[in-house]
Amino acid sequence: MGSYKTFEEYDQHITDELKENFTEILKGVGEDVEREGIVKTPERAAKAIQFLTSGHCEDPAKILKGAMFAEDYNDMVIVKDIELYSLCEHHILPFFGKAHIAYIPNGHIVGLSKIPRIVDVFARRLQVQERLTHDILECINDTLQPKGVAVVIEASHMCMMMRGVQKQNSVTTTSGFRGQFQKIETRNEFLKLISTSLS
């Protein structure tokens, strides 16, 4: 934080710098930065981009370690349909969708709310979907050291929908498997369960 006495002072400094940068961007695209609807936009955009990239300041492994419990449970644990929102690092446009995550405990389980928290931490960074999938997978695998872990992400990318090829109905799916999920029967069970509705 350098010469700043508190995190709040440092955070405000970053906000002020981003606000100036957004003001210049708006000028660059031909906007009147004194217009009523725009005058507060640089500050709003600065705070929004800080929130949307706040995952860089969080330690996902620490979040998991803070909610690990010894438990003799050896079957699959699945948290599916986890909403995610991230920013593509290539165009800083959103991509959004759902993550499906499973692990097979190896002496420890983790509080179920922590799994969506891990998704949020990695999603709130400038990302590509492939790395997001890998980051979540490896964090759970390295921290919990389960018998197996699986991650599937399905997402729509605004960089494809709003610009470029402009394909509004395309969905990108990425996946990763470790341990017992590399066995075809375990992987197939997981894929079947995440595609099945309980209702």
pLDDT reported for residue 13: 84
183-194: pLDDT as tens digits = 999 999 999 999
pLDDT category at 8 given cuts 50, 70, 90 is confident
Query: What are the pLDDT digits (tens) for 52-86?
Result: 999 998 999 999 999 999 999 999 999 999 999 99
User: How many helices (H) and strands (E) in the chain?
Assistant: 7, 7
Tell me the catalytic residues: 88-91, 129, 157, 159
Q: What SS3 class is residue 178?
A: strand
Confidence label for 11 from pLDDT (cuts 50, 70 and 90): confident
- Arithmetic mean of pLDDT, 11-28: 93
* pLDDT tier, 7 (very low <50, low <70, confident <90, very high otherwise): low
pLDDT number for residue 2: 60
7 or 43: whose pLDDT is higher?
Answer: 43
Length of the chain: 199
pLDDT score at 81: 97
What single string gives the DSSP state of each residue in 47-103? HHHHHHTGGGG--HHHHHHTTEEE----S-EEEEEEEEEEEETTT--EEEEEEEEEE
The arithmetic mean of pLDDT across residues 97-111, rounded, is 97
- pLDDT for the residue 9: 75
pLDDT tens column, 123-175: 999 999 999 999 999 999 999 999 999 999 999 999 888 877 767 778 999 99
CA 185 to each of CA 101, 123, 195: distance values in angstroms, whole numbers, following the listed order: 17, 30, 16
Residue 166's pLDDT is 67
Quick one: pLDDT at residue 53? Answer: 95
